[in-house]
Structure 1
Amino acid sequence: MTPGLPRIGLATTTTEPGLTGGRLDGIGVYSRALLRELPGAGCAVQPFSFGPAAALTVGRPLPRSLPLAMLADVAGARMALDVDLYHATDYRIVRMNCPVVATLHDALPIAHPEWCNPRLRGLKNWLQARGARQADHVIAVSRYAIAELVRFFGVDERHISVVHNGVDEAWLDRVPAQQVEATLRELGLRPGYFLTVGTLQPRKNVERLLQAYLGLPASIRAQRQLVVVGAPGARSEEAVNRIRAAQQHGENVVWLSSVTNVDQLRHVYAGAGVFVFPSLYEGFGIPVVEAFASGVPVVASNTTSLPEVTAGAAIDVDPLSVTAIGSAMLELARDEALRKRCSAAGTVRALQLTWRETARHTAAVYRSILK
């Protein structure tokens, strides 16, 4: 580590290819972005990961089987690391011999357990809630999340800072048209499609999106595919079944369940005509910012954190209303001037939400604790 800089231990378990199968969820994207950008914000970063040493390529190994006492701060157990501060980016909030900052992305598993994988959920909820209360400081990724963190995790609001998520600045550079065209041909896509991105889960509301799309005029559906990008997640059987049923009935619906290459994903965004994100619950909503940065007009939910993220740059809709979702999709499909206005507004918003800014504000949180 560089002398004189704050020495930060960063949790990187969610970025380990050998543990994630190469598919990064939102926490993995967040952790990887901090690992890349924090040095530029004046921090000396040491990554640490849970898992067998042979499987780790990003972080140094932490003990695979920590006692629950150490995870939850029972009996004053502590782990010793040679860092000034440790930043836990997922539910493994370990007590250290140094200050601990914990990022709590949302309270979804406690607020809506019916949408989540029940496997080990109770234990993870208990560990995260207990650890969050013991952390020296908590980072929330949106102002919306603060009330939930106080309510469900019992976090002292005075110990919470809001640091928004972001997007890589490279996304703001337009991708060469020939690269986009090559990717679309490979995936069987035609430019101008409706696009949604995210792991298939009940809260992502794909069923209503599909229903809204199928309710559009046949001429619009013939011109514009509905492209769903996302691996199947917990309790996604209904969404998967409906997508497959639509495909079997000859509808213009494409499901890409294995887009893991970042360049390929950027090309898919770039080829879209309208991005639709009707999620029922988000702690932040990184795909919305990725769409903004890609110059794609956005339809987004008017609930939870999303209005804070879109800040007027998207068409906000009630995610429970199939009619509202469909009307916004149809309006953007037919009105080129509106698409251009939304695209321009989204680009401006994306410039405010980069991972570089996230790292800068995160480093400021560290320094406020270490001063």
Structure 2
Amino acid sequence: MKYDPLIKVAFVRPPLSEHAFRGTGSYYRNLLISLKKEDGLEVTAIENGAPVGNFDIIHYPYFDPFFLTMPLISKKNTVVTVHDLIPLKYPDKFKSGIKGLFKWFIQKGTLCRSRHIITDSHSSKKDIAAITGFPQKDIRVIYLGIENVFRKISDNRILMPVLTRYQLNTPFILYVGDINWNKNIPGLIKALSFLEKENGAPQLALVGRGFVNNSGNLTEINKLISDLNLDGKIKRIADVPPDDLVALYNLAEMFILPSFDEGFGLPLLEAMACQTPVISSDRGSLAEISGRAVFSVDPNDSGQMGKAIKKLLKNKELRDRLVAEGILQSQKFTWEKTSRATVNVYKKILGIKEY
């Protein structure tokens, strides 16, 4: 479908290189590819701080409250994607320091001068409105999509080398993500300990660069693993190539996301697309995104989490039901839908009729 006039959009590259492949980097890359396929839209990727004189819309697909990721003043129509404000929602768990608070003061002012905010979930929309005072009518929820590479694989010639490469045994439980407080990794480790004391626990694979890069959170996690004598049960794996990640989802007996809060929860949907049953908490956006396609647990109750893992290991009928519902749920989330909804935000700002 063509629309007139041509909309010229500057799509600003995220400034932090550690988000290049997952998280914000995945959003930037996949949305840019999809937007470039839209008729009537001319999208140009630019560096942060580049001239923006010839564009109708400036879209910042990344926002960090504690880093200066936007110009102080912009005369252009600005759209900002704010994935979540979890660090500001739980200030006692995310220490920003004086410099961080000062930068947030500046970032908040810049954000509130934007024409529109895009966010990943209704949960995040509620938080953004409460924390910033930005009008809810100008915050649009647009769900993320799943890349097509996340799919069921049955070919052992693809799967077995990955199992060997990462020294994993089947069955194993999979977690993919970072190690911030809201991810509740200690709760997951305690759930594994609960199983180990009962009758023996399966292996747990923790995938993400946070599990190998030194940090205060990792020190605490490693100490807990050691204190609970679980070193032999837990594999810590850095970021893996996309093809290997797809294979790990396929190989896992289940995927688990035990978060205290989330802005979206993309790994949960990736696991569903690979036909892997999912255990998840129901906090933040997770109930909204997962629908009925997960085994829900209380993130504050590691014993309950352990029992859920045990039940899913033993109950094939339950696993099959979650897989079937997960396939249907994951199919609702595509980058084409994300792109089309994003174009509608641009059109609303410019006074052009939406799709």
Amino acid at match of 1:292: M
- Give the paired residue count: 336
Question: Among 210, 214, 217, which residue is 2:189 paired with?
Answer: 210
Work out whether residues 282 and 304 of structure 1, in 8 Å CA contact, stay in contact via their aligned partners in 2: yes
Q: TM-score, normalised by structure 2?
A: 0.87
**Greater CA drift, 98-107 or 211-220:** 211-220
Structure 2: which 5+ runs fail to align? 64-68
Within the alignment, does 1:32 sit opposite 2:4 as a pair? no
Within the alignment, does 1:83 sit opposite 2:55 as a pair? yes
Within the alignment, does 1:47 sit opposite 2:45 as a pair? yes
SS in 1 for 2:260: coil
Say which structure is richer in helix: 1
Question: Among 151, 154, 163, which residue is 2:142 paired with?
Answer: 163
Q: TM-score, normalised by structure 1?
A: 0.84
- Tell me what 1:7 maps to: 8
Equivalent residues in 2 for 1:274-313, closer than 5 Å: 274-313=254-293
- Tell me what 1:227 maps to: 205
Amino acid at match of 1:255: R
**Cα 1:103/1:131, change in 2 over 3 Å:** same
Structure 1: which 5+ runs fail to align? 51-61, 64-78
- Tell me what 1:185 maps to: 164
CA RMSD, 1 decimal: 2.3
Work out whether residues 101 and 138 of structure 1, in 8 Å CA contact, stay in contact via their aligned partners in 2: yes
SS in 1 for 2:53: coil
Cα displacement string for residues 264-306 of structure 1 (whole angstroms, at most 9, x for unaligned residues):
1111111111111001111111111111111111111111111
Tell me how far apart the structure 1 counterparts of residues 196 and 240 of structure 2 sit (CA, whole Å): 32
Work out whether residues 201 and 235 of structure 1, in 8 Å CA contact, stay in contact via their aligned partners in 2: no
Tell me how far apart the structure 2 counterparts of residues 175 and 114 of structure 1 sit (CA, whole Å): 45
Work out whether residues 10 and 52 of structure 2, in 8 Å CA contact, stay in contact via their aligned partners in 1: no
**Cα 1:359/1:235, change in 2 over 3 Å:** farther
SS in 2 for 1:366: helix
Work out whether residues 152 and 250 of structure 2, in 8 Å CA contact, stay in contact via their aligned partners in 1: no
Work out whether residues 225 and 231 of structure 2, in 8 Å CA contact, stay in contact via their aligned partners in 1: no
- Tell me what 2:66 maps to: none
Tell me how far apart the structure 1 counterparts of residues 327 and 224 of structure 2 sit (CA, whole Å): 33
Work out whether residues 86 and 96 of structure 1, in 8 Å CA contact, stay in contact via their aligned partners in 2: no
- Tell me what 2:176 maps to: 197
Work out whether residues 8 and 44 of structure 1, in 8 Å CA contact, stay in contact via their aligned partners in 2: yes
Tell me how far apart the structure 2 counterparts of residues 220 and 351 of structure 1 sit (CA, whole Å): 37
Cα displacement string for residues 107-141 of structure 1 (whole angstroms, at most 9, x for unaligned residues):
11211123336364324422332122111011121
Question: Following TM superposition, by how much is the alpha carbon of 1:20 offset from its aligned partner in structure 2, in angstroms?
Answer: 1.8
